[in-house]
Structure 1
Amino acid sequence: MVSKVSGEVCGTCEGRTYVIERQGDRAHARVCSCSVRCPLCEGRGFTYEVKEQTFSAKVGPKRYEVLVPCVCQHRAKRVALFNDIGLPGVTSHASFENYRAANEAQDRARNLAMHFSHHFDKAGVNKGFMLSGPVGTGKTHLMAATLKHLVLELGLAARYVEISLLYATIRRGFQEGKSGGEIIGPLSDVAVLAIDEMGKGRGSQFEMETLDELIARRYNAGRTTLFATNYSLEPERRASRTAAPAGYHRPAEDAKSALREQELLRERVGERIYSRLCEMCTFVEMPKDTPDRRRLIQEADMRPGSPPTGSRGTGR
């Protein structure tokens, strides 16, 4: 926020009036201390707005004041919406500005996410996006930056889920007497849903039915969904695929890992779901030789005489 006295921008929130921090395993937003007591309404929560209306042709237009919610109330509501997203704590720093692209595909992914965020039509239908690539190339980073903008700047309701954790949550729900629909329902109805690690899992009947129901509900309702995956978006498997660099998929036994490197997202989710994804999303795939930003930071920290760079990077 800009101080009325000095004209300086708050050094904590940099004028945004809110701060995003890591709180446990989640990213958490709060109203900045510079804006806790709103200078517009002085903490009352409402302001007066002058309106003009013609009640009779003889009297003509009349001006009058009405009570309206102050902008600080909208800010508080958006902060609360952000804390319902469920973004991982490691993405609390994520923004479009600090995303570092190492190749043209990453640059295209960032531009796609930025354009989607800044041109989102709250009254219309918005095509989501699917980001594919090796681990450590910023897919989760870009989804987090997108959700931050949609929620905190536009006031949309959104949710983030990692698909394997969703399966685990539903299984725990069964033990507590809940149905899968009770957990999927809110995810089906939210304005924007981000699904991370698409294609991950055992591929069991339970997982495939859960994913199919969630995608079908959102597809039929025309709701916007964002995805990130480690699996290739190529339509067909190549005759001789070159081996992906270590780390493209989650660590596992060599034999199983080699098999996963051959898999396409289409094979992981099935033809029905993949066909719908093609209509729901714009695809961007990062090359398999795209560097793992986290690994580069760690290797730089290990060089003799190098100052620690910390954990800041492009995210997952």
Structure 2
Amino acid sequence: MAVREMAPKANGEACGVCGGRTYVIERRGDQALARTCECSGNCSVCGGRGHVLVEREAEFSQKVGPRRYEVMEQCVCTQRRTRISRFNEVGLPAVVSHASFDNYRAFNEAQDRGRGVALHFAHQYVKGGPSKGFILSGPVGTGKTHLLAATLGHLVLELGVRGRYVEISLLYATIRRGFQEGKSGGEIIGPLSEVEVLAIDELGKGRGSPFEMETLDELIARRYNAGRTTLFATNYSLEPEKRAVRSAAPTGYRTTEDARSAARDADLLRERVGERIYSRLCELCTFVELPKDTPDRRRTRQEMDAPMHHAAGGSRTLGR
């Protein structure tokens, strides 16, 4: 997640604060927000004017031939401020303020593929052009939100793309609050429908009420019809399991296998969002599924830290 301009120190080394990226991403409240690094506060290119004269060459007629001319263009410092401002509109949660492709840790081949899909998408994305998104499926704590954040950060800070991030259950809550303030759901969904790249996290989460299904259907339908790129992350499986056709059980009776089958169905994304939305996802996205046994990184970190805390506690006891 870096703007192309690099900011060296006076001795030629990269800034120790931003690493030469010219910006810093920090946790402020519940959001990840960016600011210009102090090393780039005074622009040495434009002297603070915000624009520069650039020489161009073009042929306006065969008779005259190539001619050189000067045009006024935005300086890199103005471009950086614009991109930082757009990044601060994305709405990324503070917990992923550190997220990048470089610090994503893969525990298995599927996670490595997930990183590769997201990285390829980010680096091959053409601003304003059609682009197929991706959907990451896997257990909690496997880095899906990390990859969404890394992707959006690259698109916004490197390419100047307008992007947004939403956690689906929080979107539902925002719309419900909007109803109390006299707003329609369309007023809230509208900007999300029009943004160039939207990342929807926790797809399938919720009660599955008619309101939630209609909201999700409208949002995805609008983006689908407009040909806009959408990225997703979900805890529900993408692959429908093949089931043998069984004879119907007597009314009011449910076999153990029926119950197990229903439980498995509840873990499928297509059961959570419906066939219409799932069908569109198949066209809109590259599917990446992480195995159910992929380690929960948050839990693994906690379990690794626990023995250290116990050992420290024991030492204090022995010292008394």
State the match for 1:277 in structure 2. Answer: 281
Correspondence list, 1:83-102, <5 A: 83-102=88-107
User: Bigger shift: 227-236 or 153-162?
Assistant: 227-236
**Counterparts of 1:87 and 1:260 in 2: how far apart (Å)?**
32
List alignment gaps of at least 5 residues for structure 1.
240-254, 309-316
Between the two proteins, the alignment pairs up a number of residues equal to 291
State the match for 1:250 in structure 2. Answer: none
Q: Is this contact kept in 1: 2:30–2:93, CA < 8 A?
A: yes
User: Pick from 181, 190, 205: which aligns with 2:186?
Assistant: 181
Correspondence list, 1:33-52, <5 A: 33-52=38-57
Superposed CA deviations along residues 233-264 of structure 1, whole A, max 9, x for unmatched, are 1123657xxxxxxxxxxxxxxx9xx9488421
The structural deviation recorded for 1:47 is 1.1
The structural deviation recorded for 1:61 is 4.9
Aligned-pair identity in percent equals: 72
Q: Is this contact kept in 2: 1:133–1:286, CA < 8 A?
A: yes
**Counterparts of 1:93 and 1:261 in 2: how far apart (Å)?**
35
Q: Is this contact kept in 1: 2:9–2:15, CA < 8 A?
A: no
Superposed CA deviations along residues 156-192 of structure 1, whole A, max 9, x for unmatched, are 0000000000000000001111100000000000000
1:231 equivalent to 2:236? Answer yes
1:63 equivalent to 2:68? Answer yes
Correspondence list, 1:170-209, <5 A: 170-209=175-214
User: Bigger shift: 51-60 or 79-88?
Assistant: 51-60
Q: Is this contact kept in 2: 1:191–1:224, CA < 8 A?
A: yes
| 1:79–1:12 distance in 2 versus 1, CA, 3 Å | same
Correspondence list, 1:80-119, <5 A: 80-119=85-124
Q: Is this contact kept in 2: 1:137–1:292, CA < 8 A?
A: yes
The structural deviation recorded for 1:306 is 8.3
**Counterparts of 1:110 and 1:216 in 2: how far apart (Å)?**
27
1:7 equivalent to 2:51? Answer no
Q: Which secondary structure does the structure 2 equivalent of 1:303 belong to?
A: helix
User: Bigger shift: 47-56 or 141-150?
Assistant: 47-56
State the match for 1:21 in structure 2. Answer: 26
User: Pick from 164, 175, 180: which aligns with 1:159?
Assistant: 164
What's the C-alpha RMSD, in Å, of the aligned pairs?
A: 2.2
**Counterparts of 1:95 and 1:210 in 2: how far apart (Å)?**
31
State the match for 1:291 in structure 2. Answer: 295
Which has more helix, going by share of residues?
2
| 1:67–1:141 distance in 2 versus 1, CA, 3 Å | same
Q: Is this contact kept in 1: 2:237–2:289, CA < 8 A?
A: yes
Superposed CA deviations along residues 130-177 of structure 1, whole A, max 9, x for unmatched, are 101100000000000000000000110000000000000000001111
Question: TM (normalized to structure 1)?
Answer: 0.86
The structural deviation recorded for 1:62 is 4.5
The structural deviation recorded for 1:77 is 0.3
Amino acid aligned to 2:55: V
**Counterparts of 1:306 and 1:118 in 2: how far apart (Å)?**
44
**Counterparts of 2:220 and 2:243 in 1: how far apart (Å)?**
27
Larger radius of gyration: 2
Amino acid aligned to 1:31: T
